[in-house]
Amino acid sequence: MPRVSQDHLDARRRQILDGARVCFARYGYEGATVRRLEEATGLSRGAIFHHFRDKESLFLALAEDDAVSMADVVARQGLVQVMRDLLSEGSDHPADWLGTRLEVSRRLRTDPEFRTRWAQRSEQLTAATRQRLLRQRDAGKLRDDVDVDVLTSFLELVLEGLVSHLAMGLPAGHLTPVLDLVEETVRRHRAHAAPA
């Protein structure tokens, strides 16, 4: 039997994650049955669970993948850009990120075992935000009268509030100026500062 290339395995894993992301966003964790995962990925349960031990491992891998993608955006453009992407129709990930983020939040609240497993993975976004803010502070673009850890927590709380707002189905059209205000709040007060 011929060996399967690493590129093929990576492509198959990506196919599973992409399909599972849609399935979890549409049906939630409990509603994402194996049958629905098979339909969403176009693969059999054997193929899916060859790459992931079980449904929870698949969901954790998906949430971790989204956290890495968000951390990449944060490193380049800031956490507020992640929030703008959640609002944007034209962004690469907004609906996908929102669905995963909502399910992570729900499971953190209701599932202590998941909370323990997720704690090991959740630091990426916080670390990326903190590093971005430190770079902005060193460049003189970040306010220096508030500790970077406080600003990091502030931005994370705004993100969670935005996710809750969107989860409730409240209108989002008026939120761009709110995000402008959030950015302005963390900037050093001078013209042409970079986004947070």
Range of the domain at 39: 1-52
- pLDDT of 20: 93
Evaluate whether residue 195 is within a structural domain: no
**DSSP states of 26-91 as a string?**
HHHHHH--HHHHHHHHTS-HHHHHHHSSSHHHHHHHHHHHHHHHHHHHHHHH-HHHHHHHHH-SSS
Q: Are residues 71 and 1 in the same domain?
A: no
Question: 165 and 172 in contact (C-beta within 8 Å)?
Answer: yes
- pLDDT of 192: 46
Which portions of the chain are predicted below pLDDT 70? 1-2, 89-95, 120, 190-196
Q: Are residues 144 and 181 in the same domain?
A: yes
- pLDDT of 124: 83
pTM recorded for the entire structure: 0.79
Instruction: Report the mean per-residue pLDDT for the chain.
Output: 87
- pLDDT of 121: 73
Q: Are residues 136 and 93 in the same domain?
A: yes
Q: Are residues 27 and 102 in the same domain?
A: no
Q: Are residues 20 and 98 in the same domain?
A: no
Question: 79 and 129 in contact (C-beta within 8 Å)?
Answer: yes
**DSSP states of 97-142 as a string?**
HHHHHHHHHHHHHH-HHHHHHHHTTTHHHHHHHHHHHHHHHHTT-B
Q: How many CB atoms lie within 10 A of CB 192?
A: 6
Q: Are residues 39 and 85 in the same domain?
A: no
Q: What are phi and psi of 123, to 5 degrees?
A: -75, -15
Domains: count for the chain: 2
Residue given tokens 């971790």 in the structure block: 64
Q: Are residues 118 and 81 in the same domain?
A: yes
Residue given tokens 């059209």 in the structure block: 173
Report how far residue 92's alpha carbon sits from residue 162's, in angstroms, rounded to the nearest whole number.
Answer: 18
The model's pLDDT over 7-43, given as tens digits with 9 standing for 90+, comes to 888 899 999 999 999 898 888 888 999 999 999 999 9
Q: Is the dihedral of CA 143, 146, 149, 150 positive or negative?
A: negative
Q: What are phi and psi of 145, to 5 degrees?
A: -95, 0
- Among 10, 25, 52, identify where a domain stops: 52
Residue given tokens 């031990």 in the structure block: 53
